[in-house]
């Protein structure tokens, strides 16, 4: 056998082996067992990767980073299989060299028959892998249909979003992000699917009394609607990992008070059904002025599995990695010096207050504009504090005030615009926000590690 055929044979053998393993994992998943080899390898790879590598993957591939990693792992497996095929060929050649001279050699397989066999085996391997991944839920994309359930009736409904909250500029992010467009950043390779009747939440730790809730007990609590913007700590300056939604949920504060935390407690370690953890300051959950909630719906629809169904946490003013636990099943009242959350153990700060930020949506970077009056527009946010102003700078000129749309509340982003008399040439546009407490967004560029990016968002455009 030639070296090329040996390499292809090894690759096909690896593909078939991987496909069968994924198929077995998918069949086991039907019985509630998570057993995807690709997911296991990918999770291990993420766990050993340095923080800068994870951030680089997110920066390059965005929310497709999981797909890219799985494809890379598959490609690596095929390459290893090909190398194994070459090794087997060399070993076989050595055995043939020691064969008695009167023993006739095996008849070679024709090129056509080899390709048919290899192609057929490869197709079977791909089908097995695809079937297993479909059954296990590996890399499920988009918003799967939420479980059909009757949502609790809110004791307090939020007022309709005012018309003045939308500036109506094409290309500007809507004030309320549609569910299908809401960003998803998490560590779940297989999205958990939990039936409401199977969901349980345990609250325990440094408390006087433990508490356990099931879905029936949860829905008997008072529910309200809250407008809250969520943001991922991995969001770069001007990035897309932020969204605003109307959440239906019940406040966490009464539940925390029911268990009576010990005086020494200062953190709640929340755990999702897949074992992911987050460290939330206890003061944030006990703050009577902060809408820290257990959410069951967003924008009038039950949570989709990708967004944490049936129950997730939402805490305004904190990055998601320390607050927005999806598929939440456990709350342990503890201390920061005694417990470590998932991302904290990988180099991120244990507390994650959201920083004041702003973004230019219109025009986009690299746009070619016509000379004359042009809108510059975007969004600004400073959750749990609010935005008092936005300023725009053109070509290192003076900072000029922008017009703010009506804000829904201090826990959401707000749209802004500034009309600009665009002259022909190359231009750089910058934006900065001013918080309701007087904080001015810094221009110092800092990366996302360890507690969120800072810096002014800027775009370059050409006017003709």
Question: How many other C-beta atoms are found inside a 10 Å radius of the C-beta of residue 30?
Answer: 9
Torsion, Cα of 406, 409, 413, 417 (10° steps):
10
Q: What is the mean pLDDT of each run of 10 residues along the chain (464 residues)?
A: 84 84 73 65 67 67 69 82 85 71 69 85 82 64 52 93 96 96 85 91 98 96 97 94 98 98 98 96 97 97 94 97 97 97 91 96 97 97 96 97 96 98 97 98 94 97 97
361 pairs with which residues across the strands? none
Residue 140: per-residue pLDDT: 52
Instruction: Please check whether residue 316 is in contact with residue 383, taking contact to mean a CB–CB distance below 8 angstroms.
Output: yes
**pTM of the entire structure?**
0.77
Residue 4: per-residue pLDDT: 86
Three-state SS at 261: strand
Closest CA relative to residue 322, chosen from 267, 399, 244, 386: 267
Residue 231: per-residue pLDDT: 96
Residue 43: per-residue pLDDT: 66
CA–CA distance, 342 with 275 (Å, rounded to integer) = 9
Instruction: Please check whether residue 140 is in contact with residue 384, taking contact to mean a CB–CB distance below 8 angstroms.
Output: no
CA–CA distance, 28 with 386 (Å, rounded to integer) = 48
Residue 106: per-residue pLDDT: 62
The 3-class SS string of 107-160 reads CCCCHHHHHHHHHHHHHHHHHHHHHHHHHHCECCCCCCCCCCCCCCCCCECCCC
Residue 197: per-residue pLDDT: 92
Strand segments (E) across 148-307: 200-205, 211-214, 224-231, 242-251, 267-272, 277-281, 293-298, 301-302
Instruction: Please check whether residue 151 is in contact with residue 391, taking contact to mean a CB–CB distance below 8 angstroms.
Output: no
Domains within the chain, CATH numbers bracketed: 3-136 (no CATH), 163-346 (3.90.420.10), 357-463 (2.60.40.650)
26 phi-psi bin (left φ>0, alpha ψ -120 to 50, beta other) = alpha
Residue 357: per-residue pLDDT: 98
Where is 390: in which H helix or E strand?
A: strand 387-394
Residue 14: per-residue pLDDT: 83
CA–CA distance, 52 with 2 (Å, rounded to integer) = 42
């Amino acid at each position: 056998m030639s070296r090329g055929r040996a390499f292809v044979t090894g690759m096909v053998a690896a593909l078939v082996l991987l496909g069968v393993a994924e198929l077995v994992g998918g069949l086991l998943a039907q019985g509630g067992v998570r057993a995807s080899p690709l997911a296991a390898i990918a999770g291990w790879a993420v766990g050993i990767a340095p923080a800068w590598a994870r951030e680089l993957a997110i920066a390059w591939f965005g929310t497709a980073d999981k797909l890219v990693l799985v494809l890379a792992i598959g490609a690596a497996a095929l390459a290893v299989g090909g190398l194994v095929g070459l090794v087997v060929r060399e070993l076989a050649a050595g055995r043939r060299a020691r064969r008695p001279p009167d023993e006739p050699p095996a008849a070679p397989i024709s090129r056509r028959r080899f390709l048919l066999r290899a192609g057929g085996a490869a197709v079977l391997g791909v089908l097995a892998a695809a079937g297993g991944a479909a059954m296990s839920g590996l890399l499920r994309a988009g918003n799967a249909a939420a479980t059909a359930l009757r949502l609790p009736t809110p004791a307090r409904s939020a007022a309709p979003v005012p018309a003045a909250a939308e500036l109506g500029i094409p290309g500007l992010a809507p004030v309320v992000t549609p569910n299908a467009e809401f960003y998803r950043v998490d560590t779940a390779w297989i999205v958990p699917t939990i039936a409401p009747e199977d969901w349980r939440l345990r609250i325990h730790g440094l408390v006087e009394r433990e508490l356990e809730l099931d879905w029936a007990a949860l829905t008997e609590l008072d529910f309200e609607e809250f407008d809250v913007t969520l943001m991922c700590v991995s969001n770069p300056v001007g990035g897309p990992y932020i969204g605003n939604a109307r959440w239906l949920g019940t406040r966490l504060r009464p539940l925390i008070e029911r268990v009576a935390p010990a005086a020494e407690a200062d953190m709640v370690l929340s755990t999702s059904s897949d074992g992911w953890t987050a460290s939330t300051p206890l003061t944030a959950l006990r703050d009577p002025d902060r809408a820290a909630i257990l959410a069951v719906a967003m924008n009038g629809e039950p949570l989709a599995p990708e967004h944490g169904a049936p129950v997730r946490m939402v805490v305004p003013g904190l990055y998601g990695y320390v607050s927005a636990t999806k598929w939440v099943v456990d709350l342990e009242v503890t201390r920061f010096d005694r417990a470590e959350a998932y991302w904290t153990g990988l180099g991120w700060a244990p507390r994650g207050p959201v920083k004041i930020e702003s973004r230019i949506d219109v025009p986009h970077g690299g746009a070619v504009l016509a000379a004359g009056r042009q809108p510059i527009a975007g969004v600004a946010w400073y959750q749990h504090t609010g935005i008092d102003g936005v300023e725009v700078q053109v070509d290192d000129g003076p900072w000029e005030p922008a017009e703010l749309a009506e804000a829904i509340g201090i826990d959401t982003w707000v749209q802004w615009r500034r009309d600009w008399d665009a002259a022909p040439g190359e231009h750089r546009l910058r934006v900065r926000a001013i918080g309701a407490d007087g904080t001015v967004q810094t221009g110092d560029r800092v990366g996302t590690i360890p507690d969120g990016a800072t810096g002014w968002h800027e775009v370059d455009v050409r006017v003709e």
